Amino acid sequence: MLRIHKILFLGLAVLGAASAGPIQLQIGGGTNGVNGLTSNYITTNSGSTTGCSAGTCPAWTEQNYNTNLFLGATASGGSTTPDAYGAGNANSTGTYSQSSAATGTMTDTTNNITFAMINDGTGAGGSNNVWVAPTATTAGDSPLITIPVGVFGVESVWTMLNADLASAATSRDAWVVFNFSNSVSYTVKLSNTANSSNSVNGFLQDAVDCTPSTTNCTGAYNGATGSALNGTNGTGSVIPAGITIDTNQLYSFGYTNTSFGSTGGNVVLDDQGFVFSGAVLTESLANTLNNIQIEQVASMSTDPSATVGLSAVTVIASGASATPEPSTVALLVLGMGAILFNRNRRRAS
């Protein structure tokens, strides 16, 4: 009987620990989102009737980092390519390959936020690592992508978003919309118009800079040091009260050649932490975050080929709303069942 009580106590203790504090959830397919934002996860679960979700209309498509977002950047005479999720990035775990898909993670070590790499086969450009917005033929907004979340009590949302080229002629802003179960939405606009080593939080950073400048690339993004971007929310962005944004650089690779002719610079990956407070936090803690929608905006459309890329999404939720692991629930049920069985057997005897 003592052993049975221990089983029950252990189940209750673990169950309580699971609800003791905030939990981190990688959004995507597979157990605990291990496969990241796969096409099946997005198209199967989004149920979007507004705009375009991935896989419908001429919308966002899965593409390869090196081929698309990094624009063919290489080093050492073409023998070295960016290794975002592999050994070339101290903040990552995985076996990134341009030619085959694999699981992996990347961590914002400043905020201890982990992202799951997209593990979703290969396409024309290689392994699928990033969702890329469609290019615009004219100025204006492009179709949106809907990322299902379905988590109650969200405290903050972390995205990995970048535009491609650092150039005033190719700037792209992005709308990020948080849709809650009570039909309340909060919309943030990330400006892509300030790319320099002094860029402040709240801006959408470019993935590629160039030295010297070329026709397609005339600027620098957020520097090559790998340090966090510090400052207040950018005035070029539109950010509601109750949301602050923390932007950090997760990966940097120095290149010597690209497909557009630049002979030097860096490619990077950044994250953006949308941290809720005040009325927004009150709202989010009492409701489910149904989904996040992202839309590319052509703020400067001289070059309509500029695009925005989405790599991953992670959310932080209140521990009180956490769903216990199945093993924890099973342990609790086992202990309670054993006690009831033993009690009934003693009564029968």
Is residue 302 located within the same domain as residue 342?
no
Spatial separation of the C-alpha atoms in residues 205 and 212, rounded to whole Å: 19
Q: Answer whether residue 134 shows pLDDT above 80.
A: no
Spatial separation of the C-alpha atoms in residues 165 and 173, rounded to whole Å: 12
Using one digit for the tens of pLDDT, what is the confidence trace for 1-47?
A: 544 444 444 444 444 544 557 899 999 999 889 999 998 898 755 54
Question: Per mean pLDDT, which of 146-155, 157-166, 225-234, 333-342 is the most reliable?
Answer: 146-155
Please name every residue paired with 275 in a beta bridge, in sequence order, or none if there are none: 156, 244
Is residue 281 located within the same domain as residue 332?
no
Considering only residues 125 and 218, tell me which one the structure prediction assigns the higher pLDDT.
125
Q: pLDDT class for 319, splitting at 50, 70, 90? A: low
Q: In what helix (H) or strand (E) does residue 153 lie, and over which residues does it extend?
A: none
Is residue 267 located within the same domain as residue 292?
yes
Q: How many beta carbons lie within 10 A of that of residue 150, not counting itself?
A: 12
Q: Answer whether residue 261 shows pLDDT above 90.
A: no
What is the rounded end-to-end Cα distance, in angstroms, of the chain?
A: 16
Is residue 128 within 8 A of residue 121, CB to CB? The reply is: yes
Which pLDDT value is given to residue 61?
Answer: 86
Is residue 319 located within the same domain as residue 331?
no
Single-letter amino acid, residue 81:
T
* 194, HSE (Cβ side, Cα atoms, 13 Å): 15
What is the reported pTM?
0.78
Which pLDDT value is given to residue 141?
Answer: 56
Q: At what angle do helices 2-18 and 326-348 cross, to 10 degrees?
A: 150
Spatial separation of the C-alpha atoms in residues 195 and 294, rounded to whole Å: 20
Q: Answer whether residue 116 shows pLDDT above 70.
A: yes
Q: pLDDT class for 342, splitting at 50, 70, 90? A: low
Q: Answer whether residue 77 shows pLDDT above 90.
A: no
Task: Provide mean pLDDT across the span 71-84.
Answer: 83
Is residue 251 located within the same domain as residue 275?
yes
| Residue in 291, 344, 311, 314 with CA at minimum distance from that of residue 49 | 291
Is residue 228 located within the same domain as residue 335?
no
Least reliable range by pLDDT among 129-133, 175-179, 345-349: 345-349
Which pLDDT value is given to residue 165?
Answer: 65
DSSP letter, residue 67: I
Is residue 335 located within the same domain as residue 251?
no
Q: pLDDT class for 84, splitting at 50, 70, 90? A: confident
Is residue 232 located within the same domain as residue 336?
no
Which pLDDT value is given to residue 23?
Answer: 94
Single-letter amino acid, residue 336:
M
Is residue 14 located within the same domain as residue 102?
no
| 330: three-class secondary structure by DSSP | helix
Q: How many beta carbons lie within 10 A of that of residue 49, not counting itself?
A: 7
Q: Where are the alpha helices (DSSP H) in the chain?
A: 2-18, 39-45, 278-285, 326-348
Strands 206-208 and 154-165: parallel
Which pLDDT value is given to residue 44?
Answer: 57
Q: Answer whether residue 338 shows pLDDT above 80.
A: no
Mean pLDDT of the chain: 74
Is residue 331 located within the same domain as residue 318?
no
Q: Answer whether residue 173 shows pLDDT above 80.
A: no
Least reliable range by pLDDT among 58-62, 201-205, 227-231: 227-231
Is residue 38 located within the same domain as residue 146?
yes
- Rounded to 5 degrees, φ, ψ at 50 are -115, 125
Which pLDDT value is given to residue 35?
Answer: 94
Structural domain tally of the chain? 2
Residue-range definition of the domain harbouring residue 342:
1-19+324-349
Question: What letters, b where the CB count within 10 A reaches 16 and e where it falls short, cover 296-335?
Answer: bbbbbbebbebbbbbbbbbbbbbbebbebeeebeebbeeb
Spatial separation of the C-alpha atoms in residues 84 and 171, rounded to whole Å: 23
DSSP letter, residue 191: B
Single-letter amino acid, residue 17:
A
Is residue 65 located within the same domain as residue 130?
yes
Spatial separation of the C-alpha atoms in residues 60 and 209, rounded to whole Å: 23
